[in-house]
């Protein structure tokens, strides 16, 4: 039984294993075993989800588990029960819990405080680790290896950016260039942790708040401007974000690059239709890889 609350919960070997295993599932070469047969996995989503909820639900079923799904109003947390008490009860009945609370890491840590049930962070306010594992799975499938890749991330320094920085910084020679709008950068805690990992691995993670002086990249990555479950207090935030759009002109600066997006996408905002629906886009392959990566995560945590 292992928890996955953060990319930091994986050591280097585990990180590579989960990514490679996701790539094997994606390629159809992972075998037909059902390592979760006889297990029961809870799927608890307090916030909206298309890809992650479906990926972990179908992933658990495909691995032989049965699932119990909980919506935002189903558990007694809504009547004031402590998270620790809810976790103590669920851990007596479930082998694993995949949870999207959109709360803090502390809340997920409270779910993980018991010793009987694996807990998977399906997105918190701070970090989206299963998205980063999906992204690395897709990159591995496309390029054969993540090491040495040059990735441009454009947009808000949100939970996806945090997880991607923690993950890519662990691969030798990989470069992550974050271009985030002023006032919407990645949390300094994650930049600091990524810088430490990059120094050890020989990777590079840098952040700027403009769209000038861009080198060429292997991957152009963006995310929706309005992160799921959040709002922006600045009424003029769209004007701040406007220069941080992936369009045909930006894509043309990196011939041969692929385009990735964690979805959902809003054509005409963070990305133009010509890019999202163009030949360079692998965003929908990436979305399917969430299912394959989810199986790798569940196998590592619960199997």
Q: Is residue 139 part of a domain?
A: yes
> Domain with 201 in it: what CATH number?
3.40.50.1370
Contact 190, 164 (CB under 8 A): no
Strand partners for 219: 151, 258
pLDDT tens readout for residues 215-253: 999 999 999 998 776 788 888 999 999 999 999 999 999
Q: Is residue 2 part of a domain?
A: no
* % pLDDT > 90, the chain: 93
N- to C-terminal Cα separation, the chain? 8
Q: Do 144 and 269 fall into the same domain?
A: yes
pLDDT at 32: 83
- Token pair in block for residue 22: 């996701």
What is the rounded average pLDDT of the residues 153-171?
97
Contact 166, 193 (CB under 8 A): yes
pLDDT at 227: 77
pLDDT at 102: 72
Q: Do 147 and 279 fall into the same domain?
A: yes
Q: Which range marks the domain in which residue 205 is found? A: 132-287
C-beta pairs of 274-277 under 8 Å, 24+ apart in sequence: 274/247, 274/248, 275/246, 275/247, 275/248, 275/251
Q: Do 144 and 195 fall into the same domain?
A: yes
Residues near 284 by beta carbon (within 8 Å), at least 6 away in sequence: 263
Q: Do 47 and 150 fall into the same domain?
A: no
* % pLDDT > 70, the chain: 99
What is the rounded average pLDDT of the residues 283-302?
98
Higher pLDDT, 271 or 233: 271
pLDDT tens readout for residues 41-77: 999 999 999 999 999 999 999 999 999 999 999 999 9
Q: Do 147 and 162 fall into the same domain?
A: yes
pLDDT band at 277 (very low <50, low <70, confident <90, very high): very high
pLDDT at 231: 80
Q: Do 69 and 148 fall into the same domain?
A: no
Compute the mean pLDDT over every residue in the chain, rounded to the nearest whole number: 96
Q: In the chain, how many domains are there?
A: 2
pLDDT at 33: 84
Contact 221, 152 (CB under 8 A): yes
The model carries a pTM of 0.96
pLDDT band at 266 (very low <50, low <70, confident <90, very high): very high
Residues near 192 by beta carbon (within 8 Å), at least 6 away in sequence: none
Q: Do 12 and 120 fall into the same domain?
A: yes
Q: Do 165 and 255 fall into the same domain?
A: yes
Q: Do 145 and 280 fall into the same domain?
A: yes
pLDDT tens readout for residues 86-100: 999 999 999 999 999
pLDDT at 232: 86
Q: Do 205 and 64 fall into the same domain?
A: no
Q: Do 98 and 192 fall into the same domain?
A: no
Higher pLDDT, 303 or 269: 269
pLDDT band at 169 (very low <50, low <70, confident <90, very high): very high
How far is the C-alpha of 174 from the C-alpha of 168, rounded, in Å? 6
Q: Do 51 and 103 fall into the same domain?
A: yes
Q: Is residue 293 part of a domain?
A: yes
Q: Is residue 1 part of a domain?
A: no
- As to burial, measured by CB atoms within 10 angstroms (0-12 exposed, 13-18 middle, 19+ buried), residue 88 is middle
Q: Report whether pLDDT(166) > 80.
A: yes
| CA 3 from centroid of its chain's CA atoms | 15
pLDDT at 254: 98
Q: Is residue 236 part of a domain?
A: yes
- Residue 196 has a CB neighbour count (10 Å cut-off) of 11
pLDDT at 230: 73
| CA 172 from centroid of its chain's CA atoms | 20
The per-residue DSSP string of 109-120 comes to HHHTTSSSSEEE
pLDDT at 31: 87
pLDDT at 229: 66
């Amino acid at each position: 039984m292992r928890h996955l609350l953060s990319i930091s919960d994986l050591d280097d070997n585990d990180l590579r294993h989960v990514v490679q295993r996701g790539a094997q599932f994606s390629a159809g070469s992972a075998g037909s075993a059902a390592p979760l047969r006889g297990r029961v996995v809870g799927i608890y989503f307090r916030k909206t989800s298309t890809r992650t909820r479906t990926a972990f639900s179908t992933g658990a079923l495909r691995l032989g588990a049965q699932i119990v799904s909980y919506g935002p109003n189903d558990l007694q947390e809504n009547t004031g029960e402590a998270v620790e008490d809810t976790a103590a009860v669920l851990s007596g009945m479930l082998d694993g819990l995949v949870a999207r609370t959109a709360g803090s890491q502390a809340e997920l840590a409270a779910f993980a405080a018991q010793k009987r049930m694996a807990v998977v962070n399906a997105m918190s306010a701070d970090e989206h680790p299963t998205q980063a594992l999906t992204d690395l799975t897709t990159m591995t499938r496309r390029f054969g290896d993540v090491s040495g890749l040059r990735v441009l991330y454009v947009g808000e320094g949100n939970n996806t950016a945090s997880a991607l920085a923690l993950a890519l910084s662990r691969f030798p020679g990989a470069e992550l260039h974050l271009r985030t709008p002023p006032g919407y950068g990645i949390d300094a805690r994650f930049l600091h942790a990524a810088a430490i990992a990059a120094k050890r691995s020989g990777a590079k993670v840098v952040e700027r708040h403009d769209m000038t002086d861009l080198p060429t990249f292997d991957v152009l990555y963006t995310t929706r401007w309005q992160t799921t479950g959040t709002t922006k207090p600045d009424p003029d935030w769209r004007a701040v974000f406007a220069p941080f759009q992936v369009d045909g002109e930006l894509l043309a600066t990196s011939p041969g690059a692929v385009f990735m997006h964690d979805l959902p996408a809003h054509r005409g905002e963070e990305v133009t239709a010509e890019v999202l629906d163009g030949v360079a886009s692998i965003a929908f392959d990436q979305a399917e890889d969430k299912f394959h990566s989810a199986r790798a995560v569940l196998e590592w945590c619960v199997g």
